[in-house]
Structure 1
Amino acid sequence: MANVLFLEEVFRTEGVPEFTFVQPPNYNEILLDVRRTGKPVILEGQSGTGKTTTVRRIIEELGDDAKTEYLTSRHAPDVTRIEVVVREKISGRFVIDDFHRLSSELQEQIADTAKLSAEQGDQASGPKLIIIGINQVGSELIQLVPDIAKRTGIHKIAPGRKSDITALVQRGSERLNITIENAEQVYEETRGDYWLTQQICQSICAAANVTKTAAEHTRIRFNIGDVRQRVVERLRSAYYPAVKEFCRGRRFRPSNDPYFKLLRQVGSQESSIVDLNEMANAQPDVKGSINNIKERRLAVLMDSKPLVARHFYYNSETKTFAIEDPALFYFIKHLDWNQLRQDCGFREESPDFEYEVAISFAGENRELARFISESLAALDVSNFFDEMFEANFLGKAWSEQFKEIFSKRSKYVLVLLDQYHAKKIWPTFEREHFTPRIQDESVIPIFLDDTKFVGIPSDIIGIKFKFDPNHSDWRGGATDDIMMKLIDKLSS
């Protein structure tokens, strides 16, 4: 019998597989660029395609005397080291992983260093940079320094083909002296994700009590549903807290579920990297929720919760959302979303709105409207306050936008009613469109004076507030009289 190997040595879920590594189709092209002195190399692709594993394997194969440092943006000391390398142009080979998570400033410095190395070619004395990131990292780097495109090796590693995954399973099976029957189901489950293939094969073998090379040849059959359930349960303790934290948002309220809806939609996609603008346009059922959080709230959530930032990535400029860990993506794809909704404490799913609150006001009360808007935003309540969204609506007619927002795209309309609201053209226009919603109890009036309005019943329950912008503590009064009541309403 061949040497006895442990299951975890054969089907490896950590590090570089020794026995089951499969070269991507463009492996040799990548090797040539990695071997070339000074030439910057960029590897891009979605999670689980083996970018880092491929680089490590190539460097092992080169077997040269060049020292290689592996640095990642996820590790603070590594980021400091990257800063030193690009500032001092230190010679050596440096693999910079998760490039997309670095600050824009540091990305530009890396791009400048790459350009210098590319210009010097084989005579380069500075760092040899191998940059790894998610999709489009190559084009983004070129945009920072456009003239390095032809001198940089940019490679996209695609998911494995069926033949690649078949070869991986076969190599591992031979080492363990087994045959995995109906093995084609492995590819159907993983769709070419190398890490997931290793994990699925490991789980199949463990369930069949094969934990090392079998003394006698063993044939294994499996049920993919059972395997999937075991993998998800195994991952639960590692990922469920982060998933809940993300879904509950920065400040939990039982009705505040746009993060939940976003993540559920991402879990239904083939790719773990999505453009939220494209997703919103393609998925009308969750368009409101995505638009609700993609401009500001999602980035604030990442900044305020380290656990969330560690597991999810978001670029608020490009609107790219990514789940970079293939294990986490697989876990999310097979979650019990009804159970998660219950565990998060959300009420039954509500209609999808782009804004929880739209604020209608006359210009004389803009300062009060701005204070309410900022207070709501601090409490993670999405709201429409016109001056916050002027850039979004450039080239569009305000009349059409206001009509949509106040009639259907907001869950509630908060209206500051007074003599100015009654006289002004725009407030009157807004009022015409939200007044029919009074019967649905989705209009919250704030009475600033005793002005009467057609279509707004005199006995409707609202908030009375005397707004005097010259009073030194009007904000404290607005907090007590307006915000406390409003949050109670939104949380009920």
Structure 2
Amino acid sequence: MSKLTVEDVFKISGVPTHTFVKPSEFSRLMVALRTPGRGVVVEGPSGIGKSTAVTKVLDELEIAKDVVKLSARIPSDVEYIELLPELGGFGTVIVDDFHRLDDKTKAHLADLLKVTADQEDTTRKLVIIGINDAGRALIKSSPDLSNRIDVVKFEIEPDSKIGELVAAGENALNVRISAREHIIEKARGSFYLAQLLCMDACVAEGVIEKPDAERVISTSFAAVQRRVVERQKERFGDTVRAFARGTKFRPSGRAPYLHILKWLSESDSWSISLSEEMRKHPTEKVSVSIVLDQGYLKNLTDKVDISEILHFDPDARILAVENPMLIFYLRNVSWPDFVREVGFTNVDYRQTYDFALSFAGEDRSYAEHLRNALEDNGHTVFYDFAEQHRFLGQDIEAYMGPIYASDSRAVVVVLGDRYGRKRWTLFEASQYKSRIEAGEVIPIWSSAVAPSPYDEMRNRGGLEYDPLGDLLQQATSHADALSKMIAERSDGSSARA
């Protein structure tokens, strides 16, 4: 008779046997699954044990053999899923990875759930499994569905449940794991992570089969963590770095995607609401809102490699991990090293904006081109028209004053023929005046304005634009020069630090 192996005990693929622990929602899930004709939505983070729990409930109900299991990750299954509304009494069907279906298919399944519930059809039962807010996505398609389905939410499991799993594995394999308390803590409510960490500890100690006498697994958790993180770096590193760099990588840019990853690593859950995170992180709010509002984040997460590890719902603004090991990697990677690997030179900043533009209305055409070119280079720019909705009904001077005084890395002043003759340019100048000596105010002279011996900024290095020339070409060239200036100043501060 062959000996029990470590992979049989601490399973990281398939349904666990020796280490299965009933999750907190197990009883509620059983009631939902045995109620005829009523749809069930099982939602929660990846790796939390949703699919395993469903399988175990079906086994206990002794109906597993009659259930059809489909996955939105398998193209042939997706074709079958799309046909479900036309199939009549199809019995019990499970649709896993529901969040990966397109909106049209989700809407058809929502209609099917509604009709099945209204008709109390006992010949078919649809079970949906997806990551966070799968139920919300269904109800968005069919708002009156909320009272016709059972939504079972799998949250992060308590440490006591993770402890049960570890103890069951130790007993089955005849071992005692010295790092068990650290494993319980670092698993952060994930059965999957606990299995993997326990298995790695045993393998490192050379225990790959059940020993005749009890063995103490003395491998330190730090050693386990380093090995696991290193393996995940090989697995996720290139993709995570590509996400952090975004679509237009600039080493001196504001790094919005990098900050999104950091927020995800700090979350207690395996998904984050970007709206909530922006409220908690006002310094990064502007740069992240740009990649959200412009659809850049959606386009990035739609890329094949990235979509395998991250899922973004643009309507709910929720970003969730697709792979449970990704969150462990993000939580335990050395962030200073990661920032250096990605190549950002300016992530420890205090200002909200890279540049604040100051100009008179007559130069708006050029200023708008400049703003667009700077944003294309990965910078955040204060541009009055883009912020109008933020200061409606507010004290404009109180809102704008700090931006020109200190809340931007540099102020770019477009000195056209009307600058300094209008109220707002005078106000803005009064706010940034103290920054001129520090070289934080960059003048861009209009060639239509004759130099004056009384102009205090003429002795400062600046740029020049021709209001009658090609504004786009000039703005693009000037934006590149400003980007290089910020990059060199960032490198200088890093070197001094």
- Name the TM-score, length of structure 1 as normaliser: 0.86
Pick from 256, 260, 272 the counterpart of residue 274 of structure 1: 272
Task: Report the 3-state secondary structure (helix = DSSP H, G, I; strand = E; otherwise coil) of the residue aligned with 1:420.
Answer: coil
Pick from 354, 365, 369 the counterpart of residue 367 of structure 2: 369
Q: Does 1:218 pair with 2:204? A: no
Aligned partners of 1:246 and 1:259 also within 8 Å: yes
Pick closer, same or farther for the CA change 1:237–1:38 going to 2, 3 Å: same
Q: In structure 1, what is the Cα distance between the partners aligned to 2:467 and 2:39? A: 62
Deviation digits for residues 277-298 of structure 1, max 9, x if unmatched? 3333334675566556554476
Aligned partners of 1:6 and 1:213 also within 8 Å: yes
Pick from 401, 404, 407 the counterpart of residue 402 of structure 2: 404
Q: In structure 1, what is the Cα distance between the partners aligned to 2:274 and 2:268? A: 14
Q: Does 1:152 pair with 2:134? A: no
Task: Report the 3-state secondary structure (helix = DSSP H, G, I; strand = E; otherwise coil) of the residue aligned with 2:248.
Answer: coil
Q: In structure 2, what is the Cα distance between the partners aligned to 1:197 and 1:28? A: 22
- Across the two proteins, how many residue pairs are aligned to each other? 484
Aligned partners of 2:292 and 2:298 also within 8 Å: no
Pick from 417, 425, 428 the counterpart of residue 426 of structure 2: 428
Aligned partners of 1:89 and 1:113 also within 8 Å: no
Aligned partners of 2:69 and 2:96 also within 8 Å: no
Deviation digits for residues 299-318 of structure 1, max 9, x if unmatched? 16625754334322333443
Q: In structure 1, what is the Cα distance between the partners aligned to 2:34 and 2:397? A: 60
1:266 shift after superposition: 3.0
Aligned partners of 1:205 and 1:211 also within 8 Å: yes
Structure 2: where are the runs of 5+ without partners? 489-497
Deviates more, 1:231-240 or 1:308-317: 308-317
Q: In structure 2, what is the Cα distance between the partners aligned to 1:89 and 1:413? A: 66
Aligned partners of 1:111 and 1:145 also within 8 Å: yes
Pick from 482, 487, 497 the counterpart of residue 486 of structure 1: 482
Pick closer, same or farther for the CA change 1:350–1:236 going to 2, 3 Å: closer
Structure 1: where are the runs of 5+ without partners? none
Q: Does 1:56 pair with 2:52? A: no
Counterpart in 1 of 2:354? 356
Aligned partners of 2:443 and 2:457 also within 8 Å: no
Equivalent positions of 1:112-127 (< 5 A) are 112-123=111-122
Q: In structure 2, what is the Cα distance between the partners aligned to 1:308 and 1:24? A: 30
Deviates more, 1:11-20 or 1:216-225: 216-225
Letter paired with 1:461: G
Task: Report the 3-state secondary structure (helix = DSSP H, G, I; strand = E; otherwise coil) of the residue aligned with 2:200.
Answer: helix
Letter paired with 2:129: I
Q: In structure 1, what is the Cα distance between the partners aligned to 2:278 and 2:16? A: 39
Counterpart in 2 of 1:244? 241
1:232 shift after superposition: 1.2
Deviation digits for residues 293-346 of structure 1, max 9, x if unmatched? 554476166257543343223334433233332211111111111221222223
Task: Report the 3-state secondary structure (helix = DSSP H, G, I; strand = E; otherwise coil) of the residue aligned with 1:150.
Answer: coil
Q: In structure 1, what is the Cα distance between the partners aligned to 2:387 and 2:80? A: 40
1:484 shift after superposition: 3.5
Task: Report the 3-state secondary structure (helix = DSSP H, G, I; strand = E; otherwise coil) of the residue aligned with 2:308.
Answer: helix
Task: Report the 3-state secondary structure (helix = DSSP H, G, I; strand = E; otherwise coil) of the residue aligned with 2:151.
Answer: strand
1:104 shift after superposition: 4.4
Aligned partners of 1:296 and 1:316 also within 8 Å: no
Letter paired with 1:255: S
1:443 shift after superposition: 2.5
Counterpart in 2 of 1:132? 129
Q: In structure 2, what is the Cα distance between the partners aligned to 1:258 and 1:35? A: 46
Q: In structure 2, what is the Cα distance between the partners aligned to 1:297 and 1:8? A: 43
1:159 shift after superposition: 2.6
Pick closer, same or farther for the CA change 1:488–1:152 going to 2, 3 Å: same
Counterpart in 2 of 1:347? 345
Aligned partners of 1:258 and 1:289 also within 8 Å: yes
Q: In structure 1, what is the Cα distance between the partners aligned to 2:400 and 2:463? A: 24
Task: Report the 3-state secondary structure (helix = DSSP H, G, I; strand = E; otherwise coil) of the residue aligned with 2:247.
Answer: coil
Letter paired with 2:197: I
Letter paired with 1:404: P
Pick closer, same or farther for the CA change 1:391–1:44 going to 2, 3 Å: farther
Q: Does 1:197 pair with 2:194? A: yes
1:12 shift after superposition: 1.0
1:225 shift after superposition: 1.6
Pick from 230, 242, 252 the counterpart of residue 233 of structure 1: 230
Deviation digits for residues 205-235 of structure 1, max 9, x if unmatched? 1112111222333233332222212221222
Counterpart in 2 of 1:459? 459
Aligned partners of 1:358 and 1:405 also within 8 Å: yes
Pick closer, same or farther for the CA change 1:384–1:92 going to 2, 3 Å: farther
Pick closer, same or farther for the CA change 1:305–1:91 going to 2, 3 Å: same
Pick closer, same or farther for the CA change 1:162–1:490 going to 2, 3 Å: closer
Task: Report the 3-state secondary structure (helix = DSSP H, G, I; strand = E; otherwise coil) of the residue aligned with 2:354.
Answer: strand
Q: In structure 2, what is the Cα distance between the partners aligned to 1:17 and 1:180? A: 19
Letter paired with 2:199: Q
Q: In structure 1, what is the Cα distance between the partners aligned to 2:83 and 2:442? A: 56
Counterpart in 1 of 2:68? 68
Pick from 161, 165, 188 the counterpart of residue 162 of structure 2: 165
Letter paired with 1:118: A
Say what the alpha-carbon RMSD is for the aligned residues: 3.2
Q: In structure 2, what is the Cα distance between the partners aligned to 1:288 and 1:14? A: 41
Q: In structure 1, what is the Cα distance between the partners aligned to 2:413 and 2:85? A: 54
Counterpart in 2 of 1:264? 262
1:477 shift after superposition: 4.4
Letter paired with 2:385: E
Counterpart in 2 of 1:299? 297
Pick closer, same or farther for the CA change 1:404–1:29 going to 2, 3 Å: same
Q: In structure 2, what is the Cα distance between the partners aligned to 1:150 and 1:179? A: 48
Q: Does 1:17 pair with 2:13? A: no
Aligned partners of 1:288 and 1:409 also within 8 Å: no
- Name the TM-score, length of structure 2 as normaliser: 0.85
Counterpart in 1 of 2:28? 29
Deviates more, 1:38-47 or 1:232-241: 38-47
Task: Report the 3-state secondary structure (helix = DSSP H, G, I; strand = E; otherwise coil) of the residue aligned with 1:274.
Answer: strand
Deviates more, 1:457-466 or 1:130-139: 130-139
Pick closer, same or farther for the CA change 1:121–1:431 going to 2, 3 Å: farther
